[in-house]
């Protein structure tokens, strides 16, 4: 938990909100979200339109394993610097360039004829995207002062969500009018937002705090985490991070193929469903931040967790209602409102459990556990849907959200924790 800075003068909200650091958080948040939404929204729609079966599309979640295992190479990016731009910005620019090139190349292949090549390129997109996350998360934490962390994180998360408009809306609409090769290069070009930002901003990493040896970079962050409150508490925290958003992660894993199977066109998906998810996710993030000014992190996790569960159930109705644009907008809006609320509370909890001495690696570890449901677990969704159908599938999503709520009794009891100052 963050300690107050004794000598720091109190600043008003205008001084915190209106400065270049917030713009940096916005542009880097957009760049960080883009690769993931390309994998989740654009690639899945592209594969489905190429008549790839749902089981195979579901298995494509496994190529996102770099988001799950990024803590394995985060110490290397913490320990070593590239010979340009500094410890954070050099790795960020290289990762962003890798995403841009790989995404652009993807549209030149036919999934039916070149599936092995497609798998390799998509895996590289995930690797470079996860690597970008490692350095941007560390850069954001080092850039912001203690009283800027809440505002900066909120800006970053909302910009992260805005980035889904490109692969989830613009790209899908374009795909009805131009070849997929053009769609993927247009989408890839939006990585220039992050690349220009990295070139313009200053390096803020303190080399005096950088790990001096590889052992220090690899071992000490894990040692500190498990020694802090004991191994059992550490494992409980990691289990909670895995299960807390498992239900809504499963429910949204094959969202685009679900809309397609329900009879919606690419343009309807790109306009109604994606915009509904966008505004509701941002509204959830803003509302969550306001509520957490009044309640503790623990209570926010409870409150927002119940909202996450409840907003899965309308998908049961939508799976039986037939094409209805009004119903699609309302159901998707409700689901992503819960997603946004839960993300704010969980991000705040992660920050509370991260030691300032080992921010990069510990944050990578926590975010990796959050990514597990989106990769390994979500890889089974295609098989589940084809076995039981969409309606039963959403009942299952509701049920698997329960363990995360039960773990709150251990890691974040209702009467535990401190209210924000």
Fold for domain 15-411?
Answer: Growth Hormone; Chain: A; (1.20.1250)
Looking at residue 357, its pLDDT comes to: 63
**Where are the chain's structural domains?**
15-411
Tokens 């939404």, located at residue? 37
Q: In the 3-class helix/strand/coil scheme, how is the chain assigned residue by residue?
A: CCCCCCCCCCCCHHHHHCCHHHHHHHHHHHHHHHHHHHHHHHHHHHHHHCCCCHHHHHHHHHHHHHHHHHHHCHHHHHHCCCCCCCCCHHHHHHHHHHHHHHHHHHCCCCCCCCHHHHHHHHHHHHHHHHHHHHHHHHHHHHHCCHHHHHHHHHHHHHHHHHCCHHHHHHHHHHHCCCCHHHHHHHHHHCCHHHHHHHHHCCCCCCHHHCCCCHHHHHHHHHHHHHHHHCHHHHHHHHHHHHHCCHHHHHHHHCHHHHHHHCCCCHHHHHHHHHHHHHHHHHHHHHHHHHHCCCCCHHHHHHHHHHHHHHCCCHHHHHHHHCCCHHHHHHHHHHHHHHHHHHHHHHHHHHHHCCCHHHHHHHHHHHHHHHHHHHHHHHHHHHHHHHHHHHHHHHHHHHHCCHHHHHHHHHHCCCCCCCCCC
Looking at residue 302, its pLDDT comes to: 92
Tokens 């685009």, located at residue? 256
Quote the tokens at residue 152: 């900066």
Quote the tokens at residue 315: 């998908």
Looking at residue 7, its pLDDT comes to: 43
Looking at residue 208, its pLDDT comes to: 60
79 vs 307: CA distance, rounded Å: 41
Entry pTM? 0.68
Q: What is the pLDDT along the chain (421 residues), one digit of tens a residue?
A: 444 444 445 555 566 566 788 888 889 999 999 998 898 888 888 888 887 777 777 777 777 778 777 878 888 887 778 888 888 888 999 999 999 999 999 988 888 888 888 888 988 999 999 999 888 888 887 777 655 666 677 778 888 888 888 988 888 888 888 898 899 999 999 999 999 999 998 887 666 666 777 777 778 887 878 888 788 888 898 889 888 888 888 888 788 888 888 888 878 887 787 778 778 877 887 787 677 767 777 888 999 999 999 999 998 898 888 778 888 888 888 888 888 888 878 877 887 777 766 777 777 878 777 777 666 666 778 888 888 989 999 999 999 999 989 999 988 888 765 444 3
* CA-based nearest residue to 274, from 101, 8, 40: 40
Looking at residue 153, its pLDDT comes to: 73
166 vs 255: CA distance, rounded Å: 16
Looking at residue 198, its pLDDT comes to: 92
């Amino acid at each position: 938990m963050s300690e107050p800075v004794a000598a720091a003068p109190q600043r008003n909200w205008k001084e915190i909100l209106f400065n270049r650091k917030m713009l940096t958080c916005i542009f880097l948040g957009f760049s960080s979200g883009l690769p993931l939404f390309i994998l989740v929204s654009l690639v899945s729609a592209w594969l489905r339109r190429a008549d790839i079966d749902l089981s195979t599309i579901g298995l494509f979640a496994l190529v996102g394993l770099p988001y799950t295992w990024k803590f394995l190479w985060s110490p290397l990016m913490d320990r070593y610097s590239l010979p340009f731009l500094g410890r954070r910005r050099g790795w960020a620019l290289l990762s962003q360039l890798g995403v841009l090139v790989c995404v652009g190349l993807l549209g030149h292949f036919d999934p039916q004829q070149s599936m092995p090549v497609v798998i390799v390129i998509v895996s590289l997109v995930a690797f470079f995207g996860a690597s970008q996350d490692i350095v941007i998360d560390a850069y954001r934490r080092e850039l912001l002062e203690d009283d800027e962390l809440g505002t900066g994180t909120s800006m970053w998360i909302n910009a992260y969500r805005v980035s889904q408009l490109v692969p989830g809306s613009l790209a899908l609409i374009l795909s009805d009018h131009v070849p997929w090769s053009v769609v993927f290069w247009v989408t890839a070009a939006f990585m220039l937002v992050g690349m220009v930002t990295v070139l313009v901003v200053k390096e803020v990493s303190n080399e005096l705090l950088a790990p001096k040896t590889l052992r220090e970079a690899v071992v000490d962050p894990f040692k500190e985490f498990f020694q802090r409150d004991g191994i059992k508490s550490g494992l409980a925290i990691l289990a909670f991070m895995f299960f807390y958003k498992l239900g809504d992660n499963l429910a949204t894993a094959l969202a685009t193929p679900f809309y397609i199977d329900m009879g919606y066109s690419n343009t309807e998906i790109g306009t109604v469903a994606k915009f509904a998810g966008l505004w509701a996710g941002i509204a959830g993030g803003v509302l969550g931040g306001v509520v957490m000014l009044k309640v503790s992190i623990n209570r926010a996790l409870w409150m927002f967790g119940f909202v996450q569960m409840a907003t899965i159930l309308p998908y049961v109705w939508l799976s039986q209602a037939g094409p209805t644009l009004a119903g699609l907008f309302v159901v998707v809006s409700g689901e992503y409102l819960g997603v946004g609320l839960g993300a704010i509370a969980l991000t705040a909890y992660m920050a509370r459990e991260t030691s300032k001495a080992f921010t990069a690696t510990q944050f990578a570890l926590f975010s990796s556990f959050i990514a597990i449901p989106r990769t390994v677990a979500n890889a089974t969704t295609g098989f589940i849907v084809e076995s039981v159908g969409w309606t039963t599938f959403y009942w299952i999503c509701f049920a698997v959200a329960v363990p995360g709520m039960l773990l709150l009794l251990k890691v974040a009891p209702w009467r535990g924790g401190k209210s924000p100052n």
